[in-house]
Amino acid sequence: MSMYEIKIVTTFAAAHSLRNYPGNCKNIHGHNWKIEVVMQSEHLDDLGMSIDFRMLKQETEGLLNALDHTFLNDHSPFNTINPTAENISRWLYEALSKRVNGPHAKVSRLSVWENENSSASYFE
């Protein structure tokens, strides 16, 4: 099966702390988080697109704006689960999928980078 894949990359800044972590990450610290959204499509629309990059970026940034320059532990669901890169990637994947998945394209992978060397991805 042939597929198209598109990706956007965006960033936000936020602090977090990892509850019950046996090291320094239990303390409040921040990251400049990098978010990569990958979408897949088997077919293109009448314009020859799987999804408009601008719309995908707007929807992604709409979710991230609520988190930008905040303490992630204060936001649901991170007030009950640790705001790890893994948990953030799943939450963003699920929230963004509800906003952008359509007949031509769907979110296939969402990666969250804490720094240039460490990332976590969620996909189904």
Give residue limits of the domains in the chain.
Answer: 4-122
pLDDT greater than 90 at residue 70: yes
Q: What are phi and psi of 9, to 5 degrees?
A: -130, 135
- Which class for 39: exposed (0-12), middle (13-18), buried (19 or more C-beta within 10 A)? buried
pLDDT at 83: 98
Contact by Cβ (8 Å): 6, 51: yes
Instruction: Place 104 in a pLDDT band, splitting at 50, 70 and 90.
Output: confident
Provide the CATH topology of domain 4-122: Tetrahydropterin Synthase; Chain A (3.30.479)
pLDDT at 50: 94
